[in-house]
């Protein structure tokens, strides 16, 4: 049974703004070097090392060394879900005027982004709503992929049935979107949809961050496959 001290220790890991910034950056699902995370958080490499050590020891991050570089990523889906859920419980604040570049980056994240390994923002919610309207996803009692949804994923998207066998991770779950304040599709199915969209060139990353946007081929695919129009 989890003790109060264990819970307090876990909460303390994210009670520091530098560590929180690092974890939010890693929600893009990729591995970052320690230097990249230090630059992102605006701290010296030596300071970043101390924070990263705490996050690794606390089980939120894992480390892999390759040559001279040290790569960090979230420890897995459960760590990502924890950070996503906590983010959704924060109240969005107006973005301060930090210049056109910062405002543009913030708007891009709201339009579409990766949330660890699935789609979020207006794009993620639009895909979730379209799948529900088409009878591929049932939200009446939580989140569940329907039989038609399985056929769509394996037939239309070309996934293997083995790709959709839930193990420790559910096939579908709702994830509260911190910008849209609505649920988007997460879980194994959400990850496979995002992976397929990226692999087919239907969405592309904007720069090196989490923001994504549909390509011209992607807009056509979203229209033809899910009836989504006017997505930017």
Compute the Cα dihedral for 77, 79, 80, 85 and give only its sign: positive
pLDDT in the model for residue 133: 97
212 contacts 123 by C-beta, under 8 angstroms? yes
Answer yes or no: is pLDDT of 92 > 70.
no
Out of 2.60.40.420, 3.50.50.60, 1.10.10.10, 1.10.1510.10, which CATH number does the structure's domain 4-75 have?
1.10.10.10
186 contacts 118 by C-beta, under 8 angstroms? yes
pLDDT in the model for residue 222: 96
Distance of alpha carbon 46 from alpha carbon 95, whole angstroms: 30
Determine the distance from the C-alpha atom of residue 102 to the mean position of all C-alpha atoms in its chain, rounded to a whole number.
20
pLDDT in the model for residue 188: 92
Write phi, then psi, for 93 (nearest 5 degrees). -110, 150
pLDDT in the model for residue 115: 85
Answer yes or no: is pLDDT of 94 > 60.
no
User: Between 70 and 199, where is the model more confident?
Assistant: 199
Instruction: Report pLDDT digits (tens) over 32-62.
Output: 999 999 999 999 999 999 999 999 999 999 9
Instruction: Report pLDDT digits (tens) over 98-132.
Output: 565 655 667 888 899 988 889 999 999 999 999 99
Answer yes or no: is pLDDT of 228 > 70.
yes
pLDDT in the model for residue 141: 87
- Strand pairing partners for 213? 204
Percent of the chain with pLDDT over 70: 93
pLDDT in the model for residue 102: 57
Spans of all domains in the chain? 4-75, 100-226
Angle CA(97)–CA(98)–CA(99) in degrees, nearest 5? 95
């Amino acid at each position: 049974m989890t003790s109060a001290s264990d819970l307090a220790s876990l909460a303390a890991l994210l009670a520091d703004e530098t560590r929180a910034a690092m974890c939010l950056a890693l929600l893009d699902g990729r591995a970052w070097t320690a230097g990249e995370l230090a630059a992102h958080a605006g701290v010296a490499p030596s300071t970043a090392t101390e924070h990263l050590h705490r996050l690794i020891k606390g089980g939120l991050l894992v480390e892999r060394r390759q040559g001279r570089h040290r790569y960090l990523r979230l420890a897995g889906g459960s760590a990502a879900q924890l950070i996503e859920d906590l983010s959704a419980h924060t109240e969005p604040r107006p973005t301060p005027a930090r210049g056109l570049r910062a405002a543009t980056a913030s708007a891009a994240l709201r339009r579409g982004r990766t949330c660890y390994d699935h789609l979020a923002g207006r794009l993620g919610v639009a895909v979730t709503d379209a799948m529900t309207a088409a009878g591929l996803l049932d939200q009446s009692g939580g989140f569940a992929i329907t039989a038609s949804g399985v056929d769509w994923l394996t037939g239309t998207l070309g996934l293997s049935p083995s790709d959709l066998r839930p193990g420790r991770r559910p096939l579908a779950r709702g994830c509260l979107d911190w910008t849209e304040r609505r649920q988007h599709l997460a879980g194994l199915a959400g990850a496979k949809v995002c992976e397929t969209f990226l692999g087919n060139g239907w969405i592309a990353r904007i720069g090196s961050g989490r923001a994504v946007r549909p390509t011209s081929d992607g807009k056509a695919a979203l229209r033809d496959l899910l009836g989504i129009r006017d997505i930017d």
